[in-house]
């Protein structure tokens, strides 16, 4: 396979993981922070970037652990436990790192950083990568996390405006946000089959 072929395949894969099989609106990972954090654009951007960082790092670390340690030892069934411990430690490490080198970012992220541990997207991506080769795993990680970032920022911009408008009493807040998410999901549906 020529170099350009590999790069094209990678970019197409990233694109398809990012938009066409979008993490939040199609695969349903990361709904909790998606609904919970997206009331302000600023915090959404912060959360999104942190998620990109964590997912890519986690995928990079967990792939060799699964394929070169667990599988050869016949301990494939311990993957969930190992992954979650790795993710939890990674999030702690990333937190310490950010705290040391950018205290302002740490402060603005606040409680959201430890929350990334329970973000289904991180564990979901790493579990999906069990069945993929290295290139596809990285494409999955990059595409999924970028998709999360794009969607959560888009969603928060809509929500900020929604909160200013006068929704019917019972729909205020979460229900109307969910309907908005539904419409976004419908828009994503239209992209199916785009790379085919």
Q: Which residues bind other proteins (CB under 8 A)?
A: 12-13, 16-17, 20-21, 25-32, 35-36, 75, 77-78, 80-81, 84-85, 88, 117-120, 122-124, 127-128, 131-133, 136, 139-140, 143, 169-179, 181-183, 185-186, 188-189, 192-193, 195-196
CB of 104 to other proteins, least distance (A): 26
Least distance (Å) between residue 55 CB and other proteins: 13
SS3 state of residue 13: helix
Please tell me the number of Cα atoms within 13 Å of 67 on its side-chain side: 15
Least Cβ distance, residue 6 to other proteins (angstroms): 14
By C-beta, is 97 or 189 nearer to other proteins? 189
Interacting residues of 154 by C-beta distance below 8 A, sequence separation 6+: 184
Burial call 128-140: b when 16+ CB within 10 Å, e when fewer: bbbeeeeebbbbb
Least Å distance between CB 163 and other proteins? 15
Tokens representing 32 are: 């909790």
| 79 vs 160 by CB, closer to other proteins | 79
Cβ proximity to other proteins, 108 vs 127, nearer residue = 127
Smaller CB separation from other proteins, 25 or 51: 25
Residue 107's Cβ-side half-sphere holds a number of Cα atoms within 13 Å equal to 3
Say if CB 43 and CB 50 are below 8 A apart: no
**Cβ closer to other proteins: 74 or 104?**
74
Closest CB to other proteins among residues 21, 108: 21
Minimal distance, residue 195 CB to other proteins, in Å: 7
Q: The tokens of 105 are what?
A: 């970012």
CB of 45 to other proteins, least distance (A): 22
Other CB atoms within 10 Å distance of the CB of residue 103: 10
Contact 67, 53 (CB under 8 A): no
Joined together, the tokens standing for residue 161 give 């405006």
């Amino acid at each position: 396979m020529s170099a350009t072929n590999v790069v094209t395949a990678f970019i197409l894969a990233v694109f398809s993981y990012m938009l066409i099989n979008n993490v939040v609106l199609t695969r349903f990972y990361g709904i909790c922070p998606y609904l919970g954090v997206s009331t302000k654009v600023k915090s959404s951007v912060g959360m999104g970037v942190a998620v990109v960082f964590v997912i890519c790092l986690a995928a990079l670390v967990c792939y060799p652990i699964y394929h070169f340690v667990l599988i050869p030892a016949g301990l494939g069934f311990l993957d969930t436990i190992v992954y979650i411990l790795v993710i939890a430690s990674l999030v702690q490490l990333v937190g310490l790192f950010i705290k040391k080198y950018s205290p302002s970012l740490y402060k603005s992220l606040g409680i959201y950083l430890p929350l990334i541990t329970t973000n289904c997207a991180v564990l979901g991506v790493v579990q999906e990568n069990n069945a993929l080769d290295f290139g596809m795993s990285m494409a999955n990680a990059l595409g999924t996390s970028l998709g999360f970032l794009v969607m959560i920022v888009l969603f928060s911009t809509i929500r900020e405006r929604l909160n200013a408008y006068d929704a019917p009493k019972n729909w205020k807040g979460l229900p109307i946000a969910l309907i908005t998410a539904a419409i976004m999901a419908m828009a994503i549906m239209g992209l199916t089959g785009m790379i085919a």
